A and B are shown apart, each in its own frame.
Chain A
Amino acid sequence: MAVDAASRNAAAWAALARVPDPEVPALSVVDLGIVREVLTEASGTHVVLTPTYSGCPATEVISASVRDALEQAGLGPVTISRRLAPAWTTDWISAEGRQRLLAYGIAPPGATCGDASPVRLRPRNVACPRCGSAQTERLSAFGSTACKALHRCLDCREPFEYFKPL
């Protein structure tokens, strides 16, 4: 029945919205924008995921967590496939996800720019997630995970992580 199918699909998305990203647990895999498609049928659930960075070590943990969450919600058996194109972008992080990042102390990513010159213009106006000041500077282009850089606020003096636009 159509209603059942719709409610199964909604239940699957709701279960996925409770699966945290293992490296940025403030975000769910849905917030992160890596769940591209969910197909629910009486015989099981099929999820299409897209990886963030090519070498992201969390990819396998995420697949296992997605499988567990859907099976626990009674939506198994679960099959998972990977879709590379179109490539993941931080523009797919949801508005709620950006709020959660900010509350967690990570500056959400700015808008991505298409092609960039090989001579870098440093990113500006990354607002401090603690005090909101735009007077910040970058300490390190790379951070504790592939997706983040390290910045510092020049007003409140606290260091903070910045989710790099990709």
Chain B
Amino acid sequence: MNATAESIRLNFTPTLQYVLRIGDTCLIHAQRLAEWCGHGPALEEDIALTNMALDLLGQARALLAHAAQLEGQGFDEDQLAFLRDEREYFNLTLVELPMRRSSAHSPGGDFADTVLRNFLLASWLKALWTQLSASTDSELAGIAGKAVKEARYHQQHAGDWVVRLGDGTAESAGRMRTALERAAPYTAECFLRDGIDSAAQASGLGPARDSLQAVWTSEVNAVLARAQLSWPGATPFVSTGTLGCHSEHMGFILAEMQSLQRQHPGGRW
């Protein structure tokens, strides 16, 4: 029996945490999308969801590799992805929420949640990558310059589905409305500004989240209007994944994601 891997301990700085917020959002979103592998409602969509997961995982890998370099203790992207404790992940809470119905660890999710989440996230990431491609950190700018093209395609694909289901049958429209009500409260976190955002904006590292809201809102509303959907009223709820305080779903995601590297440290194939 192999020894299990210990958690790594990172030396956090605002810059590192800024990069981890983006990298972890891509990583956990990719992990959730990968749950659809082999379960898509049609072969084309199974392939689409996993292809998007692959793009996001590639983006996460590049960002975590860069984060590891910034951190400076010599860790690599795999250690950052698989050997941190829950409180040291800084993704948006939105990407943790269940996406699929009938998955043991994610009751309540639906294909409508998947479609909507992909659209909201791709729109957010596209706005982020667009601004981040002007980062004073040339590696971040390079990663963003590639990723923006991928996010654009994801946004178009997911937007098609939002329109198809929202402007579809009574059943599909109802499920899209439910998905929208579930997701909407978690989008407040996408547009907060805290000290890490302000420091990044001031140094030219990247945009503060609140600066993404105008373009996101206009693009999201344009698609929702075509889909005959409207944004639910605002709620006072604010999620805290970007501070390391996660929903009850995060532990299950990490348990599945990390189990192999925890049991077989450094395992490769």
Which residues in A have their C-beta under 8 angstroms from that of B226?
A: 119
Which residues in A have their C-beta under 8 angstroms from that of B62?
A: 54, 84
Which residues in B have their C-beta under 8 angstroms from that of A120?
A: 156-157, 159-160
Q: Is the interface of B mostly helix, strand, loop or mixed?
A: helix
> Are B142 and A87 touching (Cβ within 8 A)?
yes
Which residues in B have their C-beta under 8 angstroms from that of A115?
A: 152
Task: For the complex, count residues of A whose C-beta is within 8 A of B.
Answer: 29
A7 within 8 A of B: no
B59 within 8 A of A: yes
Residue of chain B at shortest CB distance from A166: B149
Q: Is the interface of A mostly helix, strand, loop or mixed?
A: loop
| A113 CB to nearest B CB, Å | 10
Of residues 82 through 99 on chain A, the ones whose CB sits less than 8 Å from some CB of chain B are 83-89
> Are B146 and A141 touching (Cβ within 8 A)?
no
Residue from the list B58, B147, B149 in contact with A56, Cβ < 8 A:
B58
> Beta-carbon contacts of A100-118 to B below 8 Å, as 1s and 0s?
0000000000000001111
Do A87 and B54 form a contact, CB below 8 Å, given A116-B156, A119-B226? Answer: no
Which residues in B have their C-beta under 8 angstroms from that of A51?
A: 146
| B38 CB to nearest A CB, Å | 15
Residue from the list A53, A57, A118 in contact with B123, Cβ < 8 A:
A118
> Are A142 and B47 touching (Cβ within 8 A)?
yes
Which residues in A have their C-beta under 8 angstroms from that of B35?
A: none
> Are B146 and A55 touching (Cβ within 8 A)?
no
Of residues 39 through 63 on chain A, the ones whose CB sits less than 8 Å from some CB of chain B are 51, 53-57
Give the one of A57, A115, A144, A146 with max B CB within 10 A.
Answer: A146
> Are B51 and A146 touching (Cβ within 8 A)?
yes
> Are A54 and B58 touching (Cβ within 8 A)?
yes
> Are B48 and A140 touching (Cβ within 8 A)?
yes
> Are B156 and A54 touching (Cβ within 8 A)?
no
> Can you name 15 A-B pairs with beta carbons within 8 Å?
A53-B55, A54-B58, A54-B147, A55-B58, A84-B143, A85-B145, A88-B146, A89-B149, A116-B156, A117-B222, A118-B159, A141-B44, A142-B48, A142-B51, A142-B157
